[in-house]
């Protein structure tokens, strides 16, 4: 475990380093709070052990500096306090991100126990964050392609429709369908089909604007959301997507529609009808939806 210690008293600092090094920790000893902050930013440790008096003498709020840093905030901070530790000060430090207190004088056994406990808590917190991120990925991401899954992309569509209605901004969508995909699975196997899906997904993602979104509707169908794109812009974007799909060794058919005041479901239905028209016309082509509803504001 990596530990940073900041203490103004050379004797105390030396003892802490000796004890923690003896039990196998990698220790960096520093004389000022400013040095400790710099060291933690350069290479965030598992635990920071700092004398609160040193912080006051330096005129720096080490706790706030560390917890406000995008990397160093993960370090567990243990404050070395005097025997007259004030309750209000302790509560304030805990709410500010301190992990624990050590009240001097500190025995060797207590030093090791508290530092180890702080380090273990830090590891458990990181594991919890990592697990939460994994669960979030499962909820919102299509495992095979890495794109937004059906639930996520349709949720985004509803949000974009609401935004377009509120701000009177254009919005278009495009449904992309891989042509003859069943034949790929039947003739080359599902592993080959998965590779094609991943390749097409990557091409779609790379050929959209930063503000656009793309997700997998299911099977071999993808949905691209094109905010601030009117009909000409949507037609251009759809044709670009059709062309880029060819680099994955397949062709795609695309149906697009521009929002005309209807619900998200109606917008998606019109794009789907345009997709069927593209397939009926011979595939490997783009078709736009006809305007079928009056514009609502």
Residues 6+ apart with CB under 8 A from 41: 69, 71, 72
Residue 220 falls in the annotated catalytic set: yes
Give the active site residue among 65, 81, 220, 287.
Answer: 220
Asked if residues 118 and 100 have their Cβ atoms less than 8 Å apart, the reply is yes
Query: Cα-Cα-Cα-Cα dihedral of 193, 195, 199, 204, to 10°?
Result: 50
Catalogue the active-site residues: 220
């Amino acid at each position: 475990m990596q530990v940073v210690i900041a203490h103004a008293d050379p004797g105390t600092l030396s003892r802490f380093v000796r004890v923690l090094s003896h039990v196998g920790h990698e220790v960096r000893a520093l004389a000022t709070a400013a040095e400790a902050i710099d060291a933690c930013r350069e290479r965030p440790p598992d635990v920071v052990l700092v004398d609160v008096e040193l912080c006051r003498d330096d005129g720096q709020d080490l706790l706030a500096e560390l917890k406000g840093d995008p990397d160093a905030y993960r370090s567990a901070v243990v404050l070395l306090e005097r025997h007259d530790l004030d309750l209000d000060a302790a509560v304030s430090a805990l709410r500010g991100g301190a992990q624990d207190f050590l009240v001097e004088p500190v025995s060797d056994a207590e030093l090791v126990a508290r530092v180890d406990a702080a380090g273990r808590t830090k590891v458990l917190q990181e594991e919890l964050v990592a697990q939460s991120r994994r669960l979030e990925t499962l909820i919102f991401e299509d495992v095979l392609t890495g794109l937004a899954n059906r639930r996520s992309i349709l949720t985004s569509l509803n949000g974009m429709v609401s935004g377009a209605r509120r701000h009177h901004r254009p919005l278009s969508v495009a449904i992309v369908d891989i042509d003859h995909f069943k034949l790929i699975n039947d003739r080359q196997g599902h592993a080959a089909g998965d590779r094609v899906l991943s390749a097409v997904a990557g091409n779609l993602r790379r050929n959209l604007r930063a503000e656009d979104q793309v997700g997998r509707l299911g099977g071999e169908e993808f949905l691209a959301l094109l905010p601030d794109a009117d009909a000409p812009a949507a037609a251009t974007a759809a044709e670009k997507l059709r062309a880029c799909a060819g680099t994955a060794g397949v062709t795609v058919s695309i149906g697009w529609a521009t929002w005309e005041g209807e619900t998200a479901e109606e917008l998606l239905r019109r794009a789907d009808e345009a997709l069927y028209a593209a397939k009926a016309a011979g595939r490997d082509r783009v078709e736009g939806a006809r305007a079928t509803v009056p514009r609502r504001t």
